[in-house]
Amino acid sequence: MRYSNIIIQEILGRISPRNCMVVDIQPQYQKFIYFDMFEFCQFLNKQKKILYLYNGPDTVGEDSKNDIIEWLLENGLDSYKLKDITWIDKGYGFFRGWMDQGIDNSIIKKVLKYMVVHRINDSRDIENLEEVVDIGDEYEEWMEDEPINLPDILISKLKKFNKGYLCGGGVDQCLKEFMILLSVFNIKYKLVRDFVFN
């Protein structure tokens, strides 16, 4: 059901244009999307540059970039806005093994920062993890075999969206994973809760 123009204008009226990062808002996840897609597309039409991260055929998803474009256009995205969108087939699960085991975000960030400084992409390549990274009482042996991976996303590209909007994704799944990544690189954002999966 589409919102009335009055309601859309009211929502858009409190959101000033910025750069914007979108996570996993794609046809494959329609059953998790409880916000109005027309309203979301009107939001995108008003923003500056858009970084659109999705799960596609090159990683773990079903939707191609063209599938998502067609879907967005059907839901009200203006075709002229396509020139402002950068697309990244990102995949997921970079830190999920640790996240799903209930490891605190601060510990995951600590390991990631160590990996960045030492140019390590896979936490299994850290020798003596328990000793070199201050994990404390949360350390368990399974951490040696359950990898944390730095995603294949150019951080220089993400930094261009510093202080922009962030929307989409499962609040405790892919979105949380992406928020941890942004935090490690001190990339600030404003979460648009109207367009986050429940």
Domain locations in the chain as residue ranges: 5-93+160-171+187-195, 96-144
| pLDDT of 1 over the 50 cut | no
> Is the CB of residue 17 less than 8 Å from the CB of residue 28?
no
pLDDT in the model for residue 45:
97
pLDDT in the model for residue 155:
86
User: What's the mean pLDDT in 27-44?
Assistant: 95
Of 58 and 38, the one with more pLDDT: 38
pLDDT in the model for residue 10:
54
| pLDDT of 13 over the 90 cut | no
What share of the chain in percent tops pLDDT 70? 93
| pLDDT of 161 over the 90 cut | yes
The residue type found at 179 is M
User: What's the mean pLDDT in 132-137?
Assistant: 87
User: What's the mean pLDDT in 165-173?
Assistant: 91
pLDDT in the model for residue 14:
65
Whether pTM > 0.85 for this model: the answer is: yes
